[in-house]
């Protein structure tokens, strides 16, 4: 599994528009075979930083999504929505792999 994590710098006066953008992408990622882990919008602290994470089973599945997204009318409409209202000022994208299962310190050999 590969997870795309995003850090957005958003316009704090366009949070409602960014939230609409976020809800659309949650729907689109799921429709296109991914797992969306959600968006985190500003609440306390910085009022212009948001985060998101979504996963695909493999890098090749993510690359297929990127190719399909470029030709998908709904995806392109959501991109245009964000461009027109300028809710996103910039973003950083990185790829990670999740650690989803825990283990006791004994199982991990930390305690003998």
Any idea where the domains of the chain sit in the sequence? 2-96
Residue 97 is predicted with a pLDDT of 84
Residue 112 clears pLDDT 90, i.e. is over it: no
Model confidence over 33-72: pLDDT tens digits? 999 999 999 998 889 999 999 999 999 999 999 999 999 9
Asked whether 80 and 24 are in contact (CB, 8 A), the reply is no
Using a pLDDT cut of 70, give the percent of the chain over it.
100
* Strands across the sheet containing 35-40: 35-40, 49-56, 2-10, 88-96
Structural domain 2-96, CATH architecture: 2-Layer Sandwich (3.30)
pTM for this model (two decimals): 0.86
CA distances from 81 to 5, 29, 65 (A): 21, 17, 20
22 exposure class (CB count in 10 Å sphere: 0-12, 13-18, 19+):
buried
């Amino acid at each position: 599994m590969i997870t795309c994590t995003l850090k957005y710098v958003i316009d704090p006066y366009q949070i409602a528009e960014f939230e609409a953008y976020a809800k659309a992408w949650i729907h689109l990622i799921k429709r296109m075979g991914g797992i969306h882990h959600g968006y985190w919008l500003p609440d306390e602290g910085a009022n212009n930083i948001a985060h998101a994470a979504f996963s695909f089973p493999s890098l090749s599945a993510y690359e297929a999504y990127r190719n399909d997204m470029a030709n998908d009318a709904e995806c392109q409409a959501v991109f245009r929505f964000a461009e027109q209202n300028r809710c996103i000022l910039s973003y950083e994208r990185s790829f990670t792999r999740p650690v989803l299962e825990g283990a006791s310190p004994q199982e991990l050999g930390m305690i003998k």
